[in-house]
Amino acid sequence: MKKIEIYDTTLRDGAQGEGVSFSLQDKLSITQRLDEIGVDFVEGGYPLSNEKDAEYFRRVQELNLRHTKVCAFGMTRRKGMTAAEDPGMKALVDSGAPVVTIVGKTHDFHVTDVLRVTLEENLAMIADSISYVVSEGREVIYDAEHFFDGWKANPEYAAETIRAAAKAGARLVVMCDTNGGSLPEEIAEYAQKAIAALAEFNVPVGIHTHNDGDLAVANSLAAVDAGAVQVQGTINGFGERCGNADLISVIANLGLKKKGYDVIGGEGFDHLTELSRYVYDTANVNRRTSQPFVGQSAFAHKGGMHVHAINRAASSYEHIDPQIVGNERRVLVSELSGRSNIMALTTKHNLQDDRELMDKILAEVVSKENQGYQYEAAEASFDLLVKRVAGVFQPHFEILKYHVEVEDLVEHKMVDLVTEATVKVSIDGEIRYEVGEGDGPVQALDVALRKALNERYPTLESMHLVDYKVRVVNQEAGTAARIRVTIESADEDSVWGTIGVSENIIQASWNALVDAIEYKLYKDEQRGKLPARVSAESTATK
């Protein structure tokens, strides 16, 4: 089985993506995670570019890395000086990184018009830089920038550049599709030519692709099939412009789909989803729900025919078992759903054998969605809807009254606004009336409702808001449009979504909030975390 090295550049190339930034601790934590999953190389950054990267190379030496080699990244020496005199080269060596990745020019146009040196001087810069770093006891990976554009324009000179790197002691030459515009067949063709050009040095090639043509992963796989032994990329495809090759997809395709390739030691695939989401959350970037293999929607089924089929044979609409990559199958419910969707989502209620009830639930879903509800991201509200339609919903509290007031403390100036909410509820016949303040009406209502409920239901202390989204359902209605509010809540055990729809944004928010609390209490009740109810009378609707 052929070993394919995985080289991660999330911390350097990925951080060049718009909206992506990592603190020092972020970079160290991600390095640790990448090591745990079995990534071979992690590029930490350019030690001369900023103090954070310099400190990273000092601190990373304290990590007990079992598998990963840390790489320092930099450019060839400057023109007109030796490599030993160049501050950038000295910083690479002084970083202490066992591997140094040096990027140099392959395209003659970039040499003469961008770098503004002669073609001969560029070859000397490549050779001198690599020789110096190797003489200092470091392993060198050479990144041939603009390799494919350079080979198309001047194949003889492009071959000279990578041969100069190999002759100087580089252990690997990486072909970079820097502009991201190459096609898979081009990648394969020029990879074979690069391998032939380096044959006498016994130096292999790697691949580094960008995603400007939405082909970065496909191009990486094409290069591997042509003989490349290393793939460079980033977790989730982070990177400048359209990003880099997504290593999540590269690893999954090479390790699970293609025969004869060994990546990350043949293990760790079931942690890919966890790793992907960890990097999203650490970078504070929204997750891409449709991301292959690890996205929330990667194994989500909405059409009734699809759900009916996967209930019989999951492979009918899934290319792999989602658990292999640490993901999970999700069945969505909407007006497109059939009885199969409802059955799949109601198995925990033991209602799936009641076909009449299934039809009632489906009819209610269709009716609700006509009003603007969507249950894909509000499975907790769907769970409560099932209970209500089945007539088994027993509310933990009854809303008697609520009121919100916003007061401007400074006359004629929109500053120091105070929002006050009053909530009157009945809990097992006991009336509770509470007042809460907040930065806005939703927070004020949340504060007041919790004050009313916390004494009876202390587990609510562990519940907190994760996300709050507002969307107009029927924009053509202007200010009278219906508003859809989705709330994501969490506790120490799980995360759940609820939804509310109304022409009044406060009412929509209130409905979603009440559902979130009811779901939390039902969940805790099932786990034996709540005291027994005073009243056992069942109420079908609130």
Query: What string of DSSP letters covers 290-330?
Result: T-TTTSTTTTEE-SHHHHHHHHH-GGGS-SS-GGGGT---E
Residue 496: inside a domain: no
Residue 512: inside a domain: no
Closest CA to 366 of 317, 304, 311: 304
Q: Are residues 128 and 210 in the same domain?
A: yes
Check residues 143 and 404 and name the one with the higher pLDDT. 143
Does the pLDDT value for residue 534 go beyond 60?
no
The confidence band for 541, taking pLDDT boundaries of 50, 70 and 90, is very low
Lookup: tokens for 329: 């199958």
Instruction: State residue 446's pLDDT score.
Output: 92
Q: Are residues 415 and 364 in the same domain?
A: no
Q: What residues have CB less than 8 Å from 496, skipping those under 6 apart?
A: 379, 380, 488, 489, 490, 516, 519, 520, 523
Tell me which amino acid residue 110 is.
H
Residue 274: inside a domain: no
Instruction: State residue 92's pLDDT score.
Output: 96
Does the pLDDT value for residue 342 go beyond 80?
no
Q: Are residues 237 and 370 in the same domain?
A: no
- Residues 493-525: tens digit of each pLDDT: 888 889 999 988 899 999 999 999 999 999 898
Where do runs of H (alpha helix) occur along 99-143? 108-109, 119-135
State the average pLDDT over residues 459-476. Answer: 82
Closest CA to 37 of 60, 14, 6, 11: 6
**Cα end-to-end distance, the chain, whole Å:** 62
Give the Cα separation of 516 and 518 in Å (integer): 6
Q: Are residues 231 and 354 in the same domain?
A: no
Q: Are residues 344 and 421 in the same domain?
A: no
The confidence band for 319, taking pLDDT boundaries of 50, 70 and 90, is confident
Q: What DSSP assignment string belongs to 484-523?
A: EEEEEEE-SS-EEEEEEEESSHHHHHHHHHHHHHHHHHHH
Give the Cα separation of 60 and 30 in Å (integer): 11
Instruction: State residue 368's pLDDT score.
Output: 83
Lookup: tokens for 536: 């056992």
Burial class (CB in 10 A: 0-12, 13-18, 19+), 453: buried
Lookup: tokens for 324: 């292999």
Give the 3-state secondary structure of residue 71: strand
Domain final position from 348, 372, 390: 390
Lookup: tokens for 273: 């989803």
Mean pLDDT of the chain: 87
Contact 361, 340 (CB under 8 A): no
Closest CA to 474 of 365, 335, 371: 371
Q: Are residues 359 and 439 in the same domain?
A: no
Q: What residues have CB less than 8 Å from 313, skipping those under 6 apart?
A: none
Q: Are residues 64 and 127 in the same domain?
A: yes
Domain final position from 371, 390, 409: 390
- Beta-carbon-side half-sphere exposure of residue 131 (alpha carbons within 13 Å): 12
Q: Are residues 315 and 383 in the same domain?
A: yes
Contact 371, 482 (CB under 8 A): yes
Give the Cα separation of 195 and 162 in Å (integer): 10
Q: What residues have CB less than 8 Å from 69, skipping those under 6 apart?
A: 40, 41, 42, 98, 99, 139
Contact 489, 520 (CB under 8 A): yes
Contact 8, 42 (CB under 8 A): yes
- Residues 242-283: tens digit of each pLDDT: 999 999 999 999 999 887 899 998 778 999 999 998 898 888
Instruction: State residue 330's pLDDT score.
Output: 67
Range of lowest pLDDT (124-128, 133-137, 460-464): 460-464
Contact 219, 253 (CB under 8 A): no
Instruction: State residue 370's pLDDT score.
Output: 76
Domain count, the chain: 3
Residue 461: inside a domain: no
Residue 469: DSSP 8-state: E
Give the Cα separation of 526 and 355 in Å (integer): 26
Contact 420, 448 (CB under 8 A): no
Give the Cα separation of 7 and 19 in Å (integer): 23
Give the Cα separation of 346 and 365 in Å (integer): 13
Q: Are residues 334 and 423 in the same domain?
A: no
Percentage of the residues of the chain whose pLDDT score is greater than 90: 60
Phi then psi dihedrals of residue 118, to 5 deg: -75, 160
Instruction: State residue 359's pLDDT score.
Output: 79
Percentage of the residues of the chain whose pLDDT score is greater than 70: 87
The confidence band for 478, taking pLDDT boundaries of 50, 70 and 90, is low
- Residues 382-423: tens digit of each pLDDT: 889 888 888 888 899 999 999 998 876 555 555 566 789 999
Lookup: tokens for 197: 């050009």
Give residue 403's domain range: 397-456
Residue 524: DSSP 8-state: H
Domain final position from 335, 362, 390: 390
Instruction: State residue 480's pLDDT score.
Output: 57
Which CATH number belongs to the domain containing residue 63 in this structure? 3.20.20.70
State the average pLDDT over residues 175-182. Answer: 96
Phi then psi dihedrals of residue 247, to 5 deg: -65, -25
Q: Are residues 374 and 405 in the same domain?
A: no
Residues in the chain: 542
Give the Cα separation of 192 and 223 in Å (integer): 9
Lookup: tokens for 319: 């290319």
Q: Are residues 80 and 149 in the same domain?
A: yes
State the average pLDDT over residues 121-136. Answer: 97
Residue 539: inside a domain: no
Q: Are residues 237 and 134 in the same domain?
A: yes
Check residues 263 and 475 and name the one with the higher pLDDT. 263
Residue 86: inside a domain: yes
Q: What residues have CB less than 8 Å from 23, skipping those under 6 apart?
A: 52
Residue 497: inside a domain: no
Residue 253: inside a domain: yes
State the average pLDDT over residues 448-452. Answer: 93
Give the Cα separation of 291 and 387 in Å (integer): 33
Give the Cα separation of 133 and 95 in Å (integer): 12
Instruction: State residue 335's pLDDT score.
Output: 47
Instruction: State residue 80's pLDDT score.
Output: 87
Give the 3-state secondary structure of residue 91: helix
Closest CA to 31 of 53, 2, 5, 3: 53
Instruction: State residue 230's pLDDT score.
Output: 98
Give the Cα separation of 19 and 284 in Å (integer): 9
Instruction: State residue 539's pLDDT score.
Output: 36
Instruction: State residue 347's pLDDT score.
Output: 56
What pairing do the DSSP bridges indicate for beta strands 2-3 and 5-8?
Answer: unpaired
Contact 370, 387 (CB under 8 A): no
Does the pLDDT value for residue 308 go beyond 60?
no
Instruction: State residue 415's pLDDT score.
Output: 56
CA 43 to chain centre: 19
